[in-house]
Amino acid sequence: MTRVKVDLANNSYDVMVEAGALENAANHLAPHLSNSRAFIISDSNVGPAYVPKLVSQLNAEGIKTKTLELPAGEGTKNWQTLEKLTDWLLENGIERADTVAALGGGVIGDLTGFAASIIKRGCNFVQIPTSLLAQVDSSVGGKTAINSAAGKNLVGSFKQPKFVLIDPLVLGTLPDRELRAGYAEVVKYGLIDRPEFFVWCEQNGGKLLGGDPEALSYAIVQSVSAKAAIVAEDEKELTGKRALLNLGHTFGHALEAETGYSSTLVHGEAVAAGMALAFHYSVRRGHCDNAAAERVEAHLKQSSLPHSLSSASVHATGQRLVDHMLLDKKMSGGTLPFLLANGIGQTFLAQDVDLHDVAAFLDHSE
């Protein structure tokens, strides 16, 4: 069992990683429930597989439960489902000291966290992430959001969970494509500031994607630790430090918008292609040598992840993709800071990027 502390000025919390933790979830969760009622939100894939076991355990410990199962997929992170979820919480008599538990991937975590942050101006919240992406990234750090007509994650809040319970064994039922998508965010930590972890990924990514439990647990703990360290320095993305976690996302979110937030390209896949583009764009600007960008692309390709526009099934013009980027939350004073790299593990925030040049770069990218 490993515990990683997310050390914040207020509301610090632990992330617990333990194979089989779900078998003992009631004991792990009980100390973090401020009273004995939990509202468990899951989706149509995760619910049938894991809710009955969790509920019977919690009930056996005297914790009362209500459960809601939402449709699986990115389309659920919207206003309509937020309304459905908050109405359901209110109809079921939620009180501020009750706990809302997100049991699922990043979609359920982001949506449920947002609901927990606004219901009665905020109630207790815990995360039980079940996808690799949610275990290595979205369950930690407190970003919550829904997508709006204008774009990705544009309506949301910071709502730190009280506790995050990670059981890597649940990844056994995760579809292979989703495991790979989550792996993109694992690789991201190596590319940001942990070059030795990127080398580990190059050497062990194949084992991890084959479901090797040791490789998965190691990657989860390393990823959570990397994210916790960055979030502890800049919880609300005010100094530029936390923005590093956005590596590949300015390109990636534009690709997701272009493919309609659909199963054509899921978030982790878009981030994979976005990171390859960020490295190649860094080469174009003279920050990074071509060999580093080729190495990043090769590892993503080897991991059967999108690593270019065409492998992400995107054939839009550069200007069209830049138009999507104009909605990025990092936009400030009409300019868009970009996460670029001087090399592997040397990501930085560039403030002087010319969006016409980005469009031209994308027009010349394959």
Residue 58, contacted partner among ligand NAD, ligand LNCXM5UN, none, CB below 5-8 A by kind:
none
Pairing mode, if any, of strands 99-104 and 37-43? parallel
- Alpha-carbon distance of 155 to 118, in angstroms, equals 12
> Binding to ligand LNCXM5UN (CB under 6 A): which residues in 141-170?
141, 143, 145, 153
> Considering the complex, what minimum distance in angstroms separates the CB of residue 101 from ligand NAD?
14
Residue 321, contacted partner among ligand NAD, ligand LNCXM5UN, none, CB below 5-8 A by kind:
none
Contact 252, 273 (CB under 8 A): yes
* Site for ligand NAD contains 45 (CB under 6 A): yes
* Site for ligand LNCXM5UN contains 77 (CB under 6 A): no
Bridge partners (DSSP) of residue 101 are 40, 126
Residue 329, contacted partner among ligand NAD, ligand LNCXM5UN, none, CB below 5-8 A by kind:
ligand LNCXM5UN
Residue 123, contacted partner among ligand NAD, ligand LNCXM5UN, none, CB below 5-8 A by kind:
none
196 assigned to active site: no
From the candidates 37, 77, 159, 249, give the one annotated as an active-site residue.
249
Q: Which of 32, 77, 194, 242 binds ligand NAD (CB under 6 A)?
A: 77
* Site for ligand LNCXM5UN contains 28 (CB under 6 A): no
- Alpha-carbon distance of 295 to 290, in angstroms, equals 9
Pairing mode, if any, of strands 151-158 and 143-148? antiparallel
Q: E strand or H helix at 196, and its extent?
A: helix 195-209
Residue the block writes with tokens 């919240």: 125
Q: Which of 141, 151, 168, 318 binds ligand NAD (CB under 6 A)?
A: 141
- Alpha-carbon distance of 117 to 213, in angstroms, equals 34
The interface mask with ligand LNCXM5UN, positions 166-205, x = CB under 6 A, is: -------------------x--------------------
Instruction: Give the three-state DSSP class for 139.
Output: coil
Q: Quote the radius of gyration of the chain (alpha carbons, Å).
A: 20
Please measure the distance between the N-terminal and C-terminal CA atoms of the chain and give it in whole angstroms.
44
3 assigned to active site: no
Residue 257, contacted partner among ligand LNCXM5UN, ligand NAD, none, CB below 5-8 A by kind:
none
The tokens describing 37, both together, are 């009622």
Q: What is the DSSP string of 214-271?
A: HHHHHHHHHHHHHHHHHHHH-TTS-SSSGGGGGTTHHHHHHHHHHTTTSTTS-HHHHH
130 belongs to an annotated ligand binding site: yes
Contact 353, 336 (CB under 8 A): yes
Bridge partners (DSSP) of residue 17 are 2, 166
- Alpha-carbon distance of 46 to 269, in angstroms, equals 21
Residues interacting with ligand NAD, by CB under 6 A?
43, 45-46, 49, 72-74, 77, 104-108, 110, 130-131, 133-134, 137-138, 141, 143, 153, 170, 173-174, 178, 181-182, 266-268
Residues binding ligand LNCXM5UN (CB under 6 A): 137, 141, 143, 145, 153, 185, 242, 245-246, 249, 329
Catalytic residues: 121, 143, 185, 227, 237, 242, 246, 249, 253, 267
